[in-house]
Amino acid sequence: MGFKSFIIKKTLQAKGVSKDQAEMIADKIAADPSLAEKLKVLQENKEVKALFENIQKEMEEKKKGGMPEQYAMMAVMTKYKDQIAKHRDELAPLMELMMGMGA
């Protein structure tokens, strides 16, 4: 594992991403370096960043309430489907990563 992959993995783990998911994300970014730049642009878009944070927060709340992860994701994504569609192009790299994690 290269130094950059190691840093990405450790940073993700520090933000609460599981070790397996962090490794998978680091591997995907190592295989496609442009993905990191796309994700950086996503992070800089305040509207999209807030949308993603809301989705993530609501999914966590539903999971803590006992809802299985896949159902929580479907429920929250359905709620925000209009906003997700609006920002589809900006969210594409993130969605690709999430699908690869089995989320």
Distance CA 27, CA 35 (A): 11
- Between 16 and 14, where is the model more confident? 14
Reduced to 3 states, what is the DSSP secondary structure of residue 7? helix
CA proximity to 35, closest of 2, 15, 8, 56 = 8
Scanning the structure block, which residue is given the tokens 């295989």? Answer: 31
pLDDT in tens, 23-41: 888 888 888 777 777 777 7
The pLDDT, as a whole number, for residue 103 is: 47
pLDDT in tens, 68-86: 988 988 999 899 999 988 8
The pLDDT, as a whole number, for residue 21 is: 77
User: Crossing angle of helices 88-100/34-44, nearest 10°?
Assistant: 120
